[in-house]
Structure 1
Amino acid sequence: MGKIFAVANQKGGAGKTTIALNLAGAYTYDDPELKVLVIDTDSQNTSVRSSGVGEEPLPFLVAGLAGAGKGLGRQITTMARDYDLVLVDCPPSVDNPNTENVVQVADFVLVPMDASPADAWSTEGMLRLVRRVIGPDPKRCGIVFNRVNTKTVAYAEIREAMGEDNPYPILKSTISLREVYKSSVGTGTTVFTAIKGQRSNKPAREEIMNVAMEMLQIIGLAE
C-alpha cells in the first residue's frame, strides 16, 4: 500500500491545497513512474477544481472525497493500495470529522503555517489533535513554514516558540511567498509544470522539492 501524507491545519489560508498539489508535482517530477494521488477532503473542493482547469492534465490524479463521511479513512486506505503515494488535502478545521479521519490513517501529517501569532495558535490546536490521535511520534508529523521571509525577527521568534513542548520536527526547508504558487493553482498546474521562463519557477521548484525530500527523510524513506 502506498504511503499516505496528510496536509492539515485548522486555519484557512495556510496553503494546504497549494502545498499538497505542488508536493504531488515534486514527487512525480522526481520520479515520473511514481503513481501519485491527491485526495481533496475539503468541501470547497479547491484541489479538484484546480485539477480541471489546466490546458494539460496533471501528472497525477486528483479525487474528491469531501462527502465520504465516517468511511473516509477506510476509502483513503483502500485507494492507497493502487498508488505509491497519496497526498490528502484536509479541511481547515480540527472540528471537521474529515480532518481527524484523515489523521488516523496518515503515515505522516504535514502542518503548514505562516510566521504569525494567529498561525501559531491554530497550529498548536492542530498539533494537539495529531498528538491525541497518533501520539508524539516525531516520524509521524512535521511543521513547515509557508509564505515566510526567513530573515525576519518574527520568523525566528515564532520558529523558536513552536519548538517548545513540541515533539514533532520543524522542517529545515521553508516555502517563500511567491506569486507562482497562487498562479499555479489558478491555472491547473504546479511549479513543476507551469509556464517555462517564469522568473520564480526555479527557486519555487527547489523549495518544494526540498520539503518533499525532507518529509521522506523524516519517515525514513530517504537519507
Structure 2
Amino acid sequence: MRAKIIAVTNQKGGCGKTNIAVNLAGTMVRRGHKVKLIDADPQGTATIWVNNADPDSPIQIEVNGLGRVAGSVTKEIKKYVDDYDVIIVDCPPAADSPVPQSMMLVSDLALIPIIPNPGDLWAAQDILELASRCSESNDALNVRLVASIVRANLALTKAALEQMASMREGMPLMKARINQRAAYAEAMISGDSVHILGSSAKAAIEEFENLTNDVSLVLGLKKGRK
C-alpha cells in the first residue's frame, strides 16, 4: 500500500513546524507505523534533532536530510512510498522555495502550524493561498491548520483561535493544539519525541497523542505494519 504523505509547512519560520514533524513521527512510530521523516529544510534541524538519539534506544525515528539535495525532493520521496506507512516532510520556511508547493501537489495531508496571534495569522495568508491552489490540482490533498506554540489563558490567544477556526473554507483547525512547553526543547536534546521524557512531559505527550488521533482520522490510518 502506498504511504500516506504529510507535508508540514508554513512559509514563516518559528511556528513550531519541525517540532510538529518530529513529534508526530515519534508518536506514529510508537503506534507501530513504519515512518520515514524527510527533512527538506536546509537548516537541517529535524536531522540534528533525531541524530541526538541514543543508538541503543528501541524507538528510532528514521530521518533523511534532503534540504540540500540537488533536484526535486518529490523525486527522492518516490523511492520510499511503497516501503512505509507514513512519510512526513518538514518543508523549508521560505517564501521562495518550490518545496512547499511541490510537496502539497503530491501529499495526502498538509499540516499548517500557525501561532495564534494577529501577526502570525496575517503572515499565514500566503501559505493558505498556496494550499488552496494546490488543492485544486491535487484532489487527494487535505489541508488542516494546527494551533502551535499556543500561550494558553490569554484573551488574545482565544480570539486568534476563534479566527483560525474559520480562516479559510475547506481548511479546518485541528482540535488538538500544541502549547508552548519546555518539554519540547528537552525532547530535542534527547533525539526523540516527548514520549521519551515520561511522566514529566505528560501534558505534551497528550497533546501529540491527540494530534496523531486527528491526523489518523483524516488519513484513515489504522494499525501500523510493525
3-state DSSP class of the match of 1:166? coil
| C-alpha distance in 2 between matches for 1:179 and 1:166 | 33
Q: How many residue pairs align between the two structures? A: 217
Q: Counterpart in 1 of 2:49? A: 50
3-state DSSP class of the match of 2:79? helix
Residue 185 of structure 2 corresponds to residue 182 of structure 1: yes
Q: Deviations over 1:32-61 (max 9, x none)?
A: xx2111000000011111111222455220
Q: Counterpart in 1 of 2:195? A: 192
Residue 162 of structure 2 corresponds to residue 160 of structure 1: yes
Q: Which TM-score applies when normalising by structure 2? A: 0.88
Q: Counterpart in 2 of 1:27? A: 28
Q: Counterpart in 2 of 1:202? A: 202
Q: Which TM-score applies when normalising by structure 1? A: 0.89
Q: Deviations over 1:118-140 (max 9, x none)?
A: 21122221111111112397961
**CA-atom RMSD in angstroms:** 2.0
Q: Deviations over 1:158-209 (max 9, x none)?
A: 1222314432110111111110101211331211123x44x2x111111001
Q: What aligned pairs does 1:74-93 form with structure 2 within 5 A after superposition? A: 74-93=75-94
**Per the alignment, do residues 138 and 148 of structure 1 end up closer, same or farther by CA in structure 2, a change over 3 Å counting?**
farther
The answer as to whether partners of 1:54 and 1:187 remain within 8 angstroms in 2 is yes
| C-alpha distance in 2 between matches for 1:216 and 1:21 | 16
Where does the alignment leave 5 or more consecutive residues of structure 2 unmatched?
A: none
| C-alpha distance in 1 between matches for 2:77 and 2:135 | 17
| C-alpha distance in 2 between matches for 1:138 and 1:150 | 34
Q: What aligned pairs does 1:31-180 form with structure 2 within 5 A after superposition? A: 31=32, 34-56=33-55, 58-135=59-136, 140-162=142-164, 163-180=166-183
**Per the alignment, do residues 137 and 165 of structure 1 end up closer, same or farther by CA in structure 2, a change over 3 Å counting?**
farther
Q: Counterpart in 2 of 1:6? A: 7
The answer as to whether partners of 2:110 and 2:141 remain within 8 angstroms in 1 is no
Residue 151 of structure 1 deviates from its aligned partner by 3.2
| C-alpha distance in 1 between matches for 2:122 and 2:187 | 28
| C-alpha distance in 2 between matches for 1:65 and 1:131 | 25
**Per the alignment, do residues 105 and 13 of structure 1 end up closer, same or farther by CA in structure 2, a change over 3 Å counting?**
same
| C-alpha distance in 1 between matches for 2:68 and 2:42 | 7
The answer as to whether partners of 2:53 and 2:60 remain within 8 angstroms in 1 is no
Q: Deviations over 1:52-108 (max 9, x none)?
A: 122245522000111334421122132222111111001012321122221111110
| C-alpha distance in 2 between matches for 1:206 and 1:139 | 26
| C-alpha distance in 1 between matches for 2:80 and 2:202 | 33
| C-alpha distance in 2 between matches for 1:168 and 1:176 | 21
The answer as to whether partners of 1:35 and 1:60 remain within 8 angstroms in 2 is no
* Identical counterparts, % of pairs: 31
Where does the alignment leave 5 or more consecutive residues of structure 1 unmatched?
A: none
The answer as to whether partners of 1:73 and 1:104 remain within 8 angstroms in 2 is no
